[in-house]
Structure 1
Amino acid sequence: MTNGHGDPPGGGHREERRAGHDGPEHERPEHESGLTVLLALAANLGIAIAKIVAAVATGSASMAAEAAHSIADTFNEVLLMVGLRRSGRPADRRHPLGYGKERYIWTLLVAVAIFGMGALFAFYQGFQTLTGHRGGEADPLAGYCVLAVSFVLEGISWRQALRQVRGAARDERLPLAAYIRRTDEPTAISVLLEDSAALIGLLLAFAGLGLHQLTGAAAWDGVGSVLIGVLLTAVALVLGRINLNLLIGNQADPRVVADVRDRLGAAPEVDWVVDIVTMTVGADRVLVCARLDFRDALTAGDVERACVRMARELRAAHEEIDEVFLEPVPRDDPELRERVIARYGRTLRPREPGSG
């Protein structure tokens, strides 16, 4: 089995490949993700301090829940920054495919923190108020002022995150919702979901505070806090699901997989594409493994040269392809056939020209 470089797996051409990723075009998404996280960190830190003061001044359960939400978000931005830094380390002997997946672990911790630090505290504050275990509230004017300022600051952070995610979706030629489901870069998605939840949570806190003031019933404030908890739980579940799939090992973009299959099948040395396995191993990093039935008339040298050429062509066509492993196999091997059918439900047949 060859890794497509003409070297054994983990061979010396990895440095050359990684250097090809270190240009300005590759660093731009990383730089923009860092900017998005830093902006969110600065906004959330200021907002958290203001909300804590307002929560103490007003005694509002909704405001206390929002303060916990902002504290959790501030902590989360630190986790995201750590994930960005650690996942960008170069591959080494112990981790020959790099550290890209470490980003998903840190982002999964963000989902846990959103629920553990934000949602649970919001539920606690809400139920305390609904069961009459909180004291009377002071003038809510400070709360209104903090909510208004927080909305502006969160809006600035949200706009940056939305701009980055929309730009990435446009580059991938995908609708925004489809990009969020398929992305292998969850950092900006995390900030966007956090900030979206923060803006909705601010509206809920404002409603709870306002209805309490208008009706004199503290239950409204408690309901607002509980709804904030529900909102944060939903965000934590969505974010957790995205990162769980990435940690398990997602297939590459189906369009990339189809193009890889077509390119390999069109190679003059290849008789049949027996199997293709792709896996996302980090942001914009894809591993491609393929089993190919080569023409019987080829020599061992012909097969080696063909593998090197095809791997080079695949990496040139898709910059996210990081490593390529090609294995010569007979297409009529029954065990291989069973494995392919178990994975895909059918054997991989060459696609007709122009077919989808």
Structure 2
Amino acid sequence: MAKTVGGLLAGSPALLSEAAHSVADSMNEVFLLAALRRSRRPADSRHPFGYGKERFFWSLLAAVGIFVMGGCFSFFQAVHALTGGSEESYDGYAAGLAVLGVALLAEGTSLLRALHQVRRQGGGPGGLRDPALRTVVAEDGTAVLGVTLAIVGMALHMATGQAVWEALASFAIGALLVYVAYWLGRDARDQLIGRAADPEPSHRIRALLAAQPEIDSVEALLTMQLGLDSTLVAARVDLVPGLDSEQVEDVAVRIKRSIAHIVAEADQIFLDVTDARTARRAAESPAATGERGGA
């Protein structure tokens, strides 16, 4: 609200761009709150794998909000400043710079808190697995950079009397917001389509399967992230010959428990087990090789 009032009083394109950015951030907070609440709902008959992907859907909506409300409006302000000019009121600009200074302190504090939360979750890319936290870090980071750009643009406008500096600042803010929106939207899209688990847990699962004496070979291992703490694991393995049905069942139960132990988020585990000799005969059959018999 303070940015909007200050931008209208000063007629500052850069400050109005930052005001639009703040409005977009506020709406995105509503989306993220909905994501946190709805993704915690338990699984039911309609959604047997749970609602973990709700986080990714609402993160996608947040990306659209950043693009439309923040980026496009900032571009509009940049074009308006270049084509129509602006009448500067140095009293209004002084108040606007004061508002941006307070905003920089607030946004910087919020960014530090978000980065502290990332470090608590392991730091680096692993600490940004949560799409809600990833969106918060992106928003706070762009907010700090956007406020800095607005301050520089307004200060140069006051010093030179050239509105082009604020136009450039507005354009830079818009480009920044569009980039962040694209980054968040692409990630949410990948998750909604179905992204495999990280390579490290997948390698651990494959190594575990290969180390089992009852397993002759691992034919396929598929994983998919169902949510922040939920991963689907599907494996097709060939067992060594000579195991009866009871032994096969015991092996399958033990392997599932072992996978759940080494990868805590693997809560949906499916094993397709076959006898190695049966699998080889099936692979060598005429139907599998495409050969035809004839008299």
TM over 0.5: yes
Three-state SS of the structure 1 residue aligned to 2:196 is coil
Pick from 233, 237, 262: which aligns with 1:317?
262
How far residue 187 of structure 1 moved from its aligned partner, in angstroms, is 0.9
Q: Does 1:248 align with 2:199?
A: no
Pick from 107, 110, 114: which aligns with 1:157?
110
**Cα distance in 1 between the residues matched to 2:270 and 2:165:** 60
Name the larger-Rg structure: 2
Counterpart of 2:184, as a letter, is L
Counterpart of 1:66, as a letter, is E
TM-score, with length taken from structure 1: 0.75
Matches within 5 A, 1:332-347: 332=280, 333-334=282-283
**Cα distance in 2 between the residues matched to 1:134 and 1:113:** 27
Counterpart of 2:161, as a letter, is G
**Cα distance in 1 between the residues matched to 2:219 and 2:31:** 42
**Cα distance in 1 between the residues matched to 2:266 and 2:224:** 10
How far residue 137 of structure 1 moved from its aligned partner, in angstroms, is 3.8
Partner of 2:66: 114
Kept in 2, the 8 Å contact 1:73–1:194? The answer is: yes
**Cα distance in 1 between the residues matched to 2:131 and 2:137:** 10
How far residue 133 of structure 1 moved from its aligned partner, in angstroms, is 5.1
Partner of 2:122: 169
**Cα distance in 2 between the residues matched to 1:116 and 1:168:** 31
Matches within 5 A, 1:201-240: 201-240=146-185
**Cα distance in 1 between the residues matched to 2:283 and 2:57:** 38
Partner of 1:73: 25
Counterpart of 2:232, as a letter, is L
Kept in 1, the 8 Å contact 2:233–2:269? The answer is: yes
How far residue 138 of structure 1 moved from its aligned partner, in angstroms, is 4.8
Counterpart of 1:71, as a letter, is V
Three-state SS of the structure 1 residue aligned to 2:101 is helix
Kept in 2, the 8 Å contact 1:184–1:284? The answer is: no
Structure 2's unaligned 5+ residue stretches are 285-295
How far residue 167 of structure 1 moved from its aligned partner, in angstroms, is 2.6
Identity of aligned residues (%): 43
Partner of 1:268: 213
Cα distance per residue 1:136-164 (max 9 Å; x no partner):
44521111110110011111111111111
Three-state SS of the structure 1 residue aligned to 2:257 is helix
How far residue 135 of structure 1 moved from its aligned partner, in angstroms, is 4.3
Counterpart of 1:179, as a letter, is G
Q: Does 1:305 align with 2:250?
A: yes
How far residue 85 of structure 1 moved from its aligned partner, in angstroms, is 0.5
Corresponding residue pairs, total = 279
**Cα distance in 2 between the residues matched to 1:137 and 1:240:** 39
How far residue 134 of structure 1 moved from its aligned partner, in angstroms, is 4.2
RMSD (Å) for aligned C-alpha atoms: 1.6
Three-state SS of the structure 1 residue aligned to 2:122 is helix
Matches within 5 A, 1:103-142: 103-132=55-84, 134-139=86-91, 140-142=93-95
Larger RCO, structures 1/2 (Cα 8 Å, 6+ apart): 1
Three-state SS of the structure 2 residue aligned to 1:278 is strand
**Cα distance in 2 between the residues matched to 1:150 and 1:133:** 26
TM-score, with length taken from structure 2: 0.91
Partner of 1:144: 97
Cα distance per residue 1:65-93 (max 9 Å; x no partner):
00000000010011001001101111111
Partner of 1:91: 43
**Cα distance in 2 between the residues matched to 1:260 and 1:179:** 18
Partner of 1:197: 142
Counterpart of 2:45, as a letter, is R
**Cα distance in 1 between the residues matched to 2:70 and 2:159:** 27
Kept in 2, the 8 Å contact 1:114–1:233? The answer is: yes
CA 223–257 in structure 1, closer or farther in 2 if over 3 Å, else same: same
Q: Which moved more, 1:302-311 or 1:130-139?
A: 130-139
Structure 1's unaligned 5+ residue stretches are 1-48, 171-175, 336-356
Three-state SS of the structure 1 residue aligned to 2:200 is helix
How far residue 268 of structure 1 moved from its aligned partner, in angstroms, is 2.2
Kept in 2, the 8 Å contact 1:185–1:283? The answer is: yes
**Cα distance in 2 between the residues matched to 1:313 and 1:277:** 17
Three-state SS of the structure 1 residue aligned to 2:109 is helix
Partner of 1:179: 126
**Cα distance in 2 between the residues matched to 1:307 and 1:125:** 62
